[in-house]
Copies of this chain bind each other. A is one copy, B any other.
Amino acid sequence: MNDSFPQGTAWIDGKFVKLSEAKISILDWGFLRSDATYDVVHVWKNNFFQLDKHIDRFFESTKKLRMPCQITRNELKIILAKCVKNSGFENAYVEMIQTRGVSPNFDRDPRKATPNVMAFAVPFGWILKPKDFEIGLDVYLTDIKRIPASSIDPTIKNYHWMDLVTGMFKAYEKGHHTALLVDEHNNITEGPGFNIFCVDETGIITPDTGVLEGITRQTVFNLAIELEINISKKPISAENLKKSKELFATSTAGGIMPITKISGDIIGLGNVGNITRQIHKLYWQKHSDSNWITPINNILK
């Protein structure tokens, strides 16, 4: 492993190890069939943010995949907290994963495999770095169709990302920051790791179907209600996207991120809009609100 290998700690096969030593069998169906689910929670200033919501979704996803997680909520919290503590990170990105595991003698029957739970912590990462907040993201609107819900249930957080990765390549090749995919009706869906929100004269809008039910996406609903801003879920056409007054993306990897350009074309006034600022500000305020956070030291005491 070279020096640029991400620092961090993992929990795998029941043990804590350096992240560079955390490996899975190449026969794990989580790799050979992407038969796995995961969730990512972040830690800011030694506090988990909305930890129980991420664990709720993770447990739900494992049930939907017919492999309900056998680790209890408290055990999982301790594992995640130790991954961060052992790494020495104040701010971190913590991923919990469950794969289908390895089946005896390469048996094709997924019921014969033993599920495999693991977790790891890496330094906190940003899709849009704070220093670039005022510049905002330039998102390339692709014609790639996000894998539809009729094929893969998007409420199960999954690693079926080849469409998103193809979008990222196209965006990078054309000089944009990241990509946005559409659905079969050419309505907007999501990008690699983020949901999207438009602001128009009626308030805030986000796509209703075919997207991950992001925890940060749900947070925006809670924050908008607190701020008394109208918010709704409905289809968004490419045309309406481009006519938005403001646009922002949401992700555990960076929170609330203004989008100022779509495929290089300026959105609204081309700067960070007022509603985006309000949501962003309140989002970060919640990071010191005891109703929203779980101190790592409380889990480990």
Binding site for B on A (CB under 8 A): 2, 4-6, 10, 12, 19-20, 22-27, 29-36, 38, 65-66, 93, 97, 100, 102, 104-106, 108-111, 118, 120, 122-123, 125, 127, 144-148, 150-152, 156, 158-165, 168-169, 172, 184, 192-193
Closest to A114 in B: B2
Given contacts A22-B25, A151-B145, contact A125 B104 (CB under 8 A): no
Q: B184 touching A163 by the CB < 8 A rule?
A: no
Question: Can you list 18 contacts pairing A with B, beta carbon distance less than 8 Å?
Answer: A5-B104, A6-B104, A12-B26, A22-B27, A24-B24, A26-B97, A26-B118, A26-B120, A32-B38, A35-B161, A35-B165, A100-B165, A108-B192, A110-B168, A111-B169, A150-B184, A151-B151, A158-B162
Q: B66 touching A169 by the CB < 8 A rule?
A: yes
Q: A110 touching B165 by the CB < 8 A rule?
A: yes
Residues of B within 8 A of A109 (CB): 168, 172
Interface core residue of A5, A20, A150 (most chain B CB under 10 Å): A150
Taking the nearest CB of chain B, how far is it from the CB of A136, in angstroms? 17
Closest to A145 in B: B150
